[in-house]
Amino acid sequence: MTIIRLGFNVSQRSPILAGAYQCRSSITCATDSGHYFSRILKKWNRGGSRTPRRVLLGLGVSFWAQLMSMAGSSSTVGGKSFIAFARQKGVVEEVLKNVQWPEQFPFKEEDFQRFDETPDSLFYEQPRFVTHIDDPAIAALTKYYLKVFPPSNMPGVSMLDMCSSWVSHFPAGYKQDRIVGMGMNEEELKRNPVLTEYVVQDLNVNPKLPFADNSFDIITNVVSVDYLTKPLDVFKEMCRVLKPGGLAITSFSNRCFFTKAISIWTSTGDADHVLIVGSYFHYAGGFEPPQAVDISPNPGRSDPMYIVYSRKLSTA
Ligand SMILES: C[S@@+](CC[C@H](N)C(=O)[O-])C[C@H]1O[C@@H](n2cnc3c(N)ncnc32)[C@H](O)[C@@H]1O
């Protein structure tokens, strides 16, 4: 079985694809996920720990979807479509329960390669005043934020929206003394009404966050974690700049700028993505065990939306 690796040559030949917004469903994304993860799982097992059933369940979603789409079958199991199965609320929430992580970070350098390895500053040179998920998914995210964010205008609260743009999807009228946006396009960040300041920085070139230790109560990252090629460095930095007990919230759907997303993301499905982001928190260290929430508003009818979150340990 060939593992899909997105290489340099192809990327440079296909700059037009860079604007495409693909990766729409577990099935189209999960080109080789089952086999990829079965390798990882084998490795985990070799390490002596039995893979928990629940992890297999989560990974099984993309594995079976991939297997069936490759076989050209009608993609059904027990009369249920695999997409419907993957989108059953709660399936991805199981993925991070009782994970027995391998001792070492299980991903390799090639897992973080992209189809388009040209500088990200080129790709993000022009502003995109668009939204990257549909309205129901945005509404679900905003509703989730309303539930977990500190009340608006709370003295002393500082927030950081990483991989930000002209929108942060915060609740309407939400304010804090300090809300920093970090992103790649200054025009977009300038227009973001919720930000009190912004920083343009390519995290794939410089993952060091330009903030003091223990600065932020909340860090958000919306539909962008899949573009990070040095995620462990970035997550370590997130831990450093969070206040003890501070909350980091990553959210993602099943869409991406395919050519700019890392290969381990484009070759796997939704449940795998939860595990991948969970692993970033786990191996960065200093965080509580990460948890997943499925906030998909209308499973199967609008964009799915997943949250993987964790708090900085109070002792870190
Ligand atoms: C799909 S957009 C999402 C923007 C915004 N979070 C939203 O929800 O609309 C991806 C964002 O990731 C950010 N990004 C991509 N590559 C990056 C990099 N190398 N360093 C920092 N930010 C990056 C860009 O600023 C871009 O706005």
Shared-domain flag, residues 62 and 115: no
Residue to mutate (ligand 1; options 22, 116, 124; most atoms within 8 A of CB): 124
Pocket lining: 221 vs ligand 1, CB cutoff 6 Å = no
Please indicate, yes or no, if residue 8 is contained in any of the structural domains: no
Residue 15 within any structural domain of the chain: no
Split into its structural domains, the chain has a count of: 2
Angle between helices 231-241 and 270-284 (to 10 degrees): 60
Give the rounded distance of the alpha carbon of 64 from its chain centre.
Answer: 22
Same domain, 261 and 117: yes
Query: Same structural domain for residues 199 and 268?
Result: yes
Say which residues have a Cβ less than 8 Å from residue 251's Cβ, sequence separation at least 6.
Answer: 141, 144, 220, 221, 222, 223, 295, 305, 306, 307, 308
- 245 and 175, same structural domain? yes
Do 101 and 232 fall within a single domain? no
pLDDT tens series, the chain, 316 aa: 222 222 222 222 222 222 334 343 332 222 233 334 434 444 444 443 333 333 333 343 343 333 333 333 333 333 343 344 455 567 889 999 989 999 999 999 999 999 999 999 999 999 999 999 999 999 999 999 999 999 999 999 999 999 999 999 999 999 999 999 999 999 999 999 999 999 999 999 999 999 999 999 999 999 999 999 999 999 999 999 999 999 999 999 999 999 999 999 999 999 999 999 999 999 999 999 999 999 999 888 999 999 999 999 999 8
Buried b (16+ CB within 10 A) or exposed e, 122-141: ebbeebeeeebbbeebbbbb
Whether residues 52 and 92 share a domain: the answer is yes
pLDDT at 283: 98
Assigned domain for 268 exists: yes
Evaluate: CB of 167 within 6 angstroms of ligand 1. yes
- 135 CB within 6 A, ligand 1: no
Residues 89 and 118 both lie in one domain: no
Helix axes 33-46, 53-71, angle to 10 degrees: 150
Q: Does ligand 1 lie within 6 Å of residue 222's CB atom? A: yes
User: Would you say residue 270 lies in a domain?
Assistant: yes
Specify the pLDDT at position 49. 37
Q: For 8, left (φ over 0), alpha (ψ -120 to 50), or beta?
A: alpha
Residue 12 lies in a domain: no
Residues 167 and 187 in one domain: yes
At 252, is the secondary structure helix, strand, or coil? strand
- State which of 43, 74, 107 marks the end of a domain: 107
Dihedrals phi, psi of 231, to nearest 5 degrees: -60, -35
Final residue before a domain boundary, out of 52, 74, 107: 107
Q: Tell me, yes or no, whether 226 and 170 share the same domain.
A: yes
pLDDT at 90: 74
Question: Are the C-beta atoms of 199 and 175 separated by less than 8 Å?
Answer: no
Q: What is the dihedral of CA 165, 138, 95, 32, to 10 degrees?
A: -70
Distance between terminal CA atoms of the chain?
Answer: 42
The pLDDT value given to residue 84: 46
164 CA: nearest ligand 1 atom: 6
Residue 271 forms part of a structural domain: yes
Per-residue pLDDT, 316: 80
Q: Whole-model pTM?
A: 0.79
- Print the domain residue range for 147: 111-311
Does the Cβ of 262 fall within 6 Å of ligand 1? no
In-domain check, residue 199: yes
Residue 3, in any domain of the structure? no
What spacing in Å lies between the alpha carbon of 70 and ligand 1's midpoint? Answer: 32
| Domain co-membership, 152 together with 71 | no
Tokens of 77: 């199991």
91 & 44 share domain: yes
Q: How far apart are CA 85 and CA 1, in angstroms?
A: 25
Residues 162 and 236 in one domain: yes
Torsion of CA 279, 241, 223, 44, to 10 degrees: 0
Q: Is the CB of 202 under 6 A from ligand 1?
A: yes
The CATH number of residue 233's host domain is 3.40.50.150
Determine the atom of ligand 1 nearest the C-alpha atom of 120: 19
Beta strand segments in the chain, E:
21-22, 76-77, 80-81, 158-162, 178-183, 197-200, 216-222, 242-252, 256-257, 291-294, 306-311
124 C-beta closer than 6 A to ligand 1: yes
Q: Among 57, 83, 107, where does a domain finish?
A: 107
d(CA 77, CA 241): 46
